Homo-oligomer: A and B are copies of this chain.
Amino acid sequence: MTVCQVSFLPDDVSAFVSEGTTIVDAARAAGVYINTICGGDGLCGKCRVIVRDGEVRTKPTALLERDEIRLGYVLACQTTVHGDVVIEIPPETRWEGRPKLEHEEAHRFGDIALRPGVRAYPFDPLSRKWFLEMPPPSLADNVGDLERAFREIRRKAEYPIMQTGLYNIRRLATLLREAGWKATATLAHRGKTVEVVQFEPGDTSGRNYGVAVDVGTTTIVAQLIDLVNGATVGTQASYNSQVWFGEDVISRIVYCVEEDGLDELQRYVVSDINTLVSALVEESKVDLADVTYLVAAGNTTMMHLLLGLYPAFIRQEPYIPTANHVPAIRAAEIGVAINGRGLLQCMPGVGAYVGSDVVADILASGLHLDNRLSLMIDVGTNGEVVLGNSDWLICCSASAGPSFEGGGMRCGLRATEGAIERVAVAPGGRIVYQTIGGGHPKGICGSGMIDLVAELFRIGYIDKGGRFRTDRHIPNLVNGADGPEFVVAPAGESATGKDLTISETDIAVFIRSKGAIFTAAEALINHVGLTFEDIERVFIAGGFGYHLDIVNCVTIGLLPDIPLESVHFLGNGSLAGARMALLSTAALQEANEIAKRITYFDLSTDPTFMNRFTSSLFIPHTDVEKFPSVVKA
């Protein structure tokens, strides 16, 4: 077997791999990050790299232009190495600075403060430290050490079922005596029981922390919470490294099933979480051993992969997860590095496609406690729609595709540094944009696409079908391989040295995404015999959520045409809900109740869905009367 050295530019790092290895696998081995969306099937064209030297073999692809092929471009997933090679990764293919731990990113994906009016749950964290001053034993008071400690705890709070492990019992006798009968017990809730997860000498009751984590398909956000006073100490975010193995949940499930990759995917997400937690405790000067509880929320597949649960049956009819209500486990059982005896609780989910992130969203929004009819939309690769009030809750989910996270389009990019996140087209056709980080643009992220499509429609450059109007002059329109393309940023401005453009194909892909979410909302509302006019409040959730221009969302028909004042940005509701549960056993209990209350509506069983979806593939919609404000504008 021949070993080939694969060197990657511009970082100049190498891996030694056997002949015939793909460039994607070689990059993984070298620890170099290459954009992949389709999981290596040669479908997304995101993993383009330039072969600078050496012999490779590559499969034919329609995703590269002739000019590019001439310059040495190949798709990394479709190309194998056959000798020592030098590969250049162009800017649009790179991930910048992974894991992304900068504050700007953390803020972007972090949650917002709870909205006023949302019910406050009693402060009763899942983990508490009690300082115990025990009377020393005597012949007259000679109960065992464990019974003495438990007796003291019960003086503070009457927990019906208290448990502890042999690990702690073994150390107790020496610990209590050395500590002069002054010790601190950490009590962590585990379902309806309470576990003493550790005893510490002396009074450490002032140092107790928890972590709330939103495990997104694309992004993971973790927040360090002070469990003594409820304060948020810090927030960190990074990509979910599993993205290497496919952009959406389905491709990850496939990787688990076909490539036996469950352990691998689990290790990646656990390592991401550990990196975030470690950054959080470092920046806050908190001892990792004082982090005693972690609450995670995410879609059902993400929770399965975090816990190492086999996810295959999530995607096979009748779509059954292993568990929606997973009991608390010891975090160390899955390799999550907090206190070695600390617990980890996943928020409860509803079903295969309505995960604990949605339950957390609802908990954070409080919509389940209000008698007004609310609609909640969680915008993401998988879009979830919840409808209901204090009496009932119904939910459906729709696969929107990766458009909102920069996938599926030539110049699409995740909401990362260099992505165009806001766009306006000034009269006369001048393009004004803003990039994340303020530098030269590398691509366009979801919020940028919403703005761009809305603006192009408003200014009359594209028609309701998403096609460039041929009846008028459109500046910045060039002819590309696929037909006309609109130049958002010319080569001179862009970080890639090439024009950043969108084509009619890109717009069509994007319209399908927005149409899927709108249709899910519409079908759900119709299913219960209501109309959009009955909706009194709309919540937009998702890390994405509060970067959106609400008028533009209505303009393109992503959101229904409702009064702007009834729309509320929830931000990262998944993270907010996890944090609420961490801070209040009552909130976790309520999440369990919410999960049980929700009715799941399977869109695939709705006969009206396809017609509705087809009608939604316009800007804003076939039936413009549904969007009077857009007509008026």
Q: Which residues of A contact B (CB under 8 A)?
A: 137-139, 142-147, 160-161, 163-166, 169-170, 172-174, 177, 190-193, 307-310, 312-313, 317-327, 329, 333-334, 351-352, 600, 602, 605
Contact = CB atoms under 8 A, between A and B. Distances in A.
A257 B327 CA distance: 40
B191 A163 contact: yes
A480 to B, nearest CB: 44
Contacts of A308: 166, 170
Given A142-B320, A169-B322, 4 more contacts: A139-B318, A146-B325, A172-B323, A177-B313
A265 to B, nearest CB: 14
Nearest to A146: B323
Contacts of A160: 192
Contacts of A320: 137, 142-145, 173
B138 A318 contact: yes
16 contacts: A139-B605, A142-B320, A142-B352, A144-B323, A147-B323, A161-B161, A161-B192, A163-B190, A163-B327, A166-B334, A169-B307, A169-B322, A169-B326, A173-B310, A173-B313, A193-B193
Contacts of A177: 313
Instruction: State the 10 A-B residue pairs at the shortest beta-carbon distance, nearest first.
Output: A146-B323, A144-B324, A173-B322, A144-B323, A137-B320, A139-B318, A144-B321, A166-B329, A173-B310, A145-B322
A192 B317 CA distance: 38
Nearest to A308: B170
Most central of A193, A308, A309 by chain B CB within 10 Å: A309
Nearest to A313: B173
B326 A602 contact: no
Contacts of A190: 163
B174 A318 contact: no
A142 B354 CA distance: 12
B324 A143 contact: yes
Given A163-B327, A174-B310, A310-B174, A319 B169 contact: no
Contacts of A351: 142, 144
A560 B148 CA distance: 38
Contacts of A144: 320-325, 351
Contacts of A322: 144-146, 169-170, 172-173
Nearest to A160: B192
Given A145-B320, A317-B139, A605-B139, A173 B312 contact: yes
A166 B318 contact: no
Given A166-B329, A321-B145, A602-B139, A191 B161 contact: yes
Contacts of A137: 318, 320
Contacts of A146: 322-326
A327 B191 CA distance: 18
A248 B313 CA distance: 59
Nearest to A150: B325
B165 A329 contact: yes
Most central of A169, A177, A327 by chain B CB within 10 Å: A169
A166 B176 CA distance: 32
A193 B320 CA distance: 27
Contacts of A352: 142
A227 to B, nearest CB: 23
Contacts of A309: 169-170, 173
Contacts of A191: 161, 163
B142 A600 contact: yes
A144 to B, nearest CB: 4
Contacts of A143: 320, 324
Contacts of A164: 327
Contacts of A325: 144, 146-147
